[in-house]
Structures are given as C-alpha cells and as structure tokens.
Amino acid sequence: MAAVTTSAERSLNKLAIVGVLIVTMIFLAPIYWIASTAFKPRNLATTIPPTVVFQPEISPFVKLFTKRSQLRTAPTPEQYAAAPWWERLVFDGGEKVVRSGRGEVQWSGYPSRFMNSLIVAITSTILAVGMGTFTAYGFSRFKIKGEQDLLFFILSTRMLPPVVVAIPMFLMYRAVGLNDTHWGLIILYTAFNLSFSVWLMKGFMDEIPKEYEEAALVDGYTRMEAFFKIVLPEAATGIAATAVFCFITAWNEYAFALIMTNRRAQTAPPFIPSQVGSGLPDWTVIAAGTFLFLLPVAIFTFLLRNHLLRGMSFGAIRK
C-alpha cells in the first residue's frame, strides 16, 4: 500500500465506514425491536407507529417467569400492600400470580424450557466437537483407506434438509422411547453437527504441523499424551470456532424440537411461540422470553470472539 493516503482514498474510507454503519443498523434493528419490546409496558408494545421513547419496565420478565391469571376484581389495598414489589407489577397489569394452596408462587414453563435448551445444546456441542476433533485428527494424521470417500460420506449427511427425515425419525424415536427425552434431542443435534464439526476440525488439524507431535513422540510421549498436551492446545482456536457454530445450531433448532418433544424435554424455541396462543398474546412477555434466549449465544460468541474471527477467515490465510 502506498505510504501516502490521498484525500480521495480518505473520503472513500469515510464512505465505507458510513456504509458499514448503515448495514450494521439494518442487522441490529430486529434485535433492538425485541430488546425494547421486552422492557415495554404492555399497552405500548403494539402501538402504531412503534413507541421508541418509553419508561422501561421489568414487568414482562416477572410475567415470563410466573404463572398468572386474569384478575376479575381489583386487589384490595391490603392484598396490594402485602404483595412483594414484583407481584405488584403483575397486579398493575390486571393479572395475579397463581399460588398453590400453601401460598407458593407457581413458576411458568419458561425456566425449565430454558434449562432444557441449555442441557441439550451444551451436551450436544461437547459431543459433536469432541467426536469431531478425534475423527478429524485421525483423518488428518493417519493414512486411511478410502479417506476421500469416507469424508465425502460424512459430508453427504448434510446434503439433505434434516426435516425430510422428521417423520421416520419421529416414528423411530417413539418406538425406542426417545421422544420427549433430553438424550433424544442430544443425539439428534450431535448427529446434525458431527459432519460439520469433522470437516471444520480437519481443516484446523491439517494446519498444525505434525512435527510438533513427532517431536513429542520421539521425546518419549505416547500418541495420546502428545495429542492432549500438544495438539489440543494448538487446536483451541478451531475447537472454539466449531463449538460456537455447533452451539448456535443446536440452540436455535426449532422443527425437531417441536416434533420430538412436548413437555419434559421441550426446549425454548418451540415453547416461546406456543405462548402466543394462550389467552390474549402478550407480546412483551414473548419478547422478554426471546431476549433472554438470545443472551447465551451472544455471551458465548462474545467470549470466543477472537477464536471465532480466525475460524471465519479460516482457509483464507495460508502460511
């Protein structure tokens, strides 16, 4: 590049920055919409034109986590005074929190669905990335008969839209008793992600010089020790990038979760829209559920952002 930047180049740079800002805003607009709706009072959620300036409220989140019913009569001042701050927010919305006979607050279905999502996504990510790493290492380091064919076979499992097999899968799962279980979804998502994980990890493994392990082998380490001590730390970037992709896929999966689960093992994606249908849709509660649902992926991606960037540009940079 020229050492001197001309004024034309500089103004072009500015233009590019403006362009990037506009695109970023377009991409962020829906997320802003979700986030802002999650903090709106119910009556402002569906105004036309949309309300942009409002007093943020926490009540949608309180409603999200509790079981509620419509109030027929306004609460008595004593009831109101005795209620904790969060219950008053529910009263203000014309509803009351459902309590058991012994006065315990009844939780909504959301927390357990959220936990299910975490259990399924984390376990299947660990399994897919773990198996993918070992498989990729094998393909990368050893001479395997029909290596290309095997790799193609692994890739070919991704060539069909997964929903195509939804009905046979459902029948099989019902037959073996896997439907509506955590393991059912974990196995399913691991299978989806495995081929992707193998291919991505193979690329990263190929980039690690095999001299590293050979030096360790000659120094008196076993192949296993060399793998864990040398290869795995070197592959950390690849593992992180692969994990983010696998996690997002498993976390966001909707169709199979909808078909294969209904209560015990249901994840958040099919649960959130199901709330639209019960009573009058409260968009603030749905937005609050969606907003919380976005957080784990955002945090996970943010934590691994450096690895992820390298993972995205993977293949573009060659030594």
Q: Footprint of another protein on this chain (CB under 8 A)?
A: 209, 211-212, 214-222, 225, 230, 233-234
Residue 129 or 216 having the CB closest to another protein:
216
User: Nearest distance from residue 218's CB to another protein, in Å?
Assistant: 4
Calpha distance 239→137 (Å, rounded): 12
Identify which of residues 90 and 226 has a Cβ nearer to another protein in the complex. Answer: 226
Closer to another protein by CB, 174 or 223: give it. 223
Neighbours of 130 (CB within 10 A): 14
User: Residue 306 CB, nearest distance to another protein (Å)?
Assistant: 15
- Report the phi/psi class of residue 56: left, alpha or beta, with left for phi > 0 and alpha for psi in -120 to 50: beta
Count CB atoms within 10 A of the CB of residue 71.
13
Quote the least distance from Cβ 19 to another protein, whole Å: 37
Please answer whether residues 214 and 228 qualify as being in contact, where contact means their C-beta atoms are separated by less than 8 angstroms: no
- Per DSSP, the three-state class of 58 is coil
Give Cβ neighbours of residue 64 (< 8 Å, ≥ 6 apart).
108, 110, 285, 288, 289, 292
Report the nearest approach of another protein to the CB of residue 235 (Å).
12
By beta-carbon proximity to another protein, the closer residue of 91 and 221 is: 221
* Most distant CA atoms of the chain, gap in Å: 81
Q: In the bound complex, what is the minimum distance in angstroms from residue 209's beta carbon to another protein?
A: 4
- Tell me the CB-side half-sphere exposure of residue 143, using CA atoms within 13 A: 0
- Nearer Cβ to another protein (54/212): 212
